[in-house]
């Protein structure tokens, strides 16, 4: 399959828009990067089989390569390029009108392990929700994934709010004190995030990506009216934002302390200089 992200991350049984060529030999073979159980690390995998031929589907003009329209299912074998032992397998369904592809099988299954940083800070109940959420996501069950991830956010948002001032300079702390207190008291998680989403210090913003804004948008959808697919997209945003926030906050608290202290010193010096 020419699409790397599709193979590496896309859930099962969910359509993936793709322009399928008319003949199967026109499909590219791509390398993927996934976890190898033998090497116990992320490795490059190469596709080792050819797109399968079958008598019935031989096309006169292209020899053994058959038309994708007739060939509804294809299998892909991938071998770890480092150990040359561990393999991954995929079964792909070709959409009837050649406008999409769909994973209908994958072994070993998509990962449901919890990222290291997240694992350290959430308790058992939320670890369970995370795995269930990831499992739902991997099978394309958007509503289920959305609800599980939302429960984790509801559970840890206060802890996150408590940590925000660690990333603020004295000047910022002063400005944000009142809204932060208000957010702490607010019961509704979405409203809580609404209050603080624009107060996020620059150190917590990656590029133009404000994880709290993304989280707020994703939490604001009407779960009772949205489709499974829309919930799936929003579930992914919630999970990514959660992982991103936790990664920065709990890995960088020490690092950011130094940064903030030096910022405070510089600002103080500048103030004195230009008084
Ligand atoms: Zn390997």
Distance 67 CA to ligand 1 centre (A): 34
Distance 39 CA to ligand 1 centre (A): 4
160-170 pLDDT, tens digit each: 888 888 888 88
Helices 170-185 and 142-163, packing angle to 10 deg? 130
Calculate the alpha carbon distances from 195 to 178, 199, 216, 236 in Å: 10, 8, 10, 23
CA distance 227 to 80: 37
Distance 137 CA to ligand 1 centre (A): 26
Distance 87 CA to ligand 1 centre (A): 8
226-245 pLDDT, tens digit each: 898 899 999 999 999 898 88
Number of continuous H segments (helices) and E segments (strands) in the chain:
8, 8
CA distance 219 to 191: 10
37-89 pLDDT, tens digit each: 999 999 999 999 887 644 444 555 555 556 777 668 888 999 999 999 999 99
Distance 111 CA to ligand 1 centre (A): 16
Give the single-character DSSP code of 19: -
pLDDT at 253: 61
Distance 20 CA to ligand 1 centre (A): 30
165-219 pLDDT, tens digit each: 888 888 888 888 899 999 999 999 999 999 988 888 877 777 777 888 888 999 9
Distance 28 CA to ligand 1 centre (A): 23
Give the single-character DSSP code of 210: -
Distance 135 CA to ligand 1 centre (A): 24
């Amino acid at each position: 399959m020419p699409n790397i992200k599709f193979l590496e991350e896309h859930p099962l049984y969910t359509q993936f828009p793709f322009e399928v060529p008319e003949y199967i030999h026109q499909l590219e073979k791509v390398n993927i990067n996934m976890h190898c159980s033998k090497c116990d690390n992320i490795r490059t995998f190469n596709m080792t089989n050819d797109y399968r031929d079958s008598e019935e589907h031989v096309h006169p003009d292209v020899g053994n390569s058959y038309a994708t329209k007739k060939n509804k299912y294809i299998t892909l074998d991938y071998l770890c390029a480092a150990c040359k032992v561990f393999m991954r397998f995929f079964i792909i369904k070709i959409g009837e009108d050649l406008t999409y592809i769909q994973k209908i099988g994958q072994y070993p299954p998509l990962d449901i392990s919890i990222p290291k940083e997240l694992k350290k800070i959430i308790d058992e109940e939320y670890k369970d929700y995370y795995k269930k959420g990831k499992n739902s996501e991997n099978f394309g069950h958007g509503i289920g994934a959305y609800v599980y991830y939302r429960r984790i956010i509801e559970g840890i948002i206060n802890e996150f709010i408590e940590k925000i001032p660690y990333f603020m300079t004295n000047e910022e702390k002063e400005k944000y004190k009142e809204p932060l207190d208000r957010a702490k008291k607010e019961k509704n998680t979405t409203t809580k995030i609404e209050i603080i989403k624009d107060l996020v210090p620059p150190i917590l913003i990656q590029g133009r990506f404000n994880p709290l804004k993304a989280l707020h948008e994703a939490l604001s959808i009407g779960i009772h009216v949205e489709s499974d697919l829309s919930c799936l997209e929003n579930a992914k945003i919630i999970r990514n934002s959660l992982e991103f926030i936790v990664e920065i906050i709990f890995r960088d608290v020490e690092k950011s302390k130094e940064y903030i202290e030096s910022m405070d010193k510089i600002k103080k010096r500048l103030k004195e200089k230009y008084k």
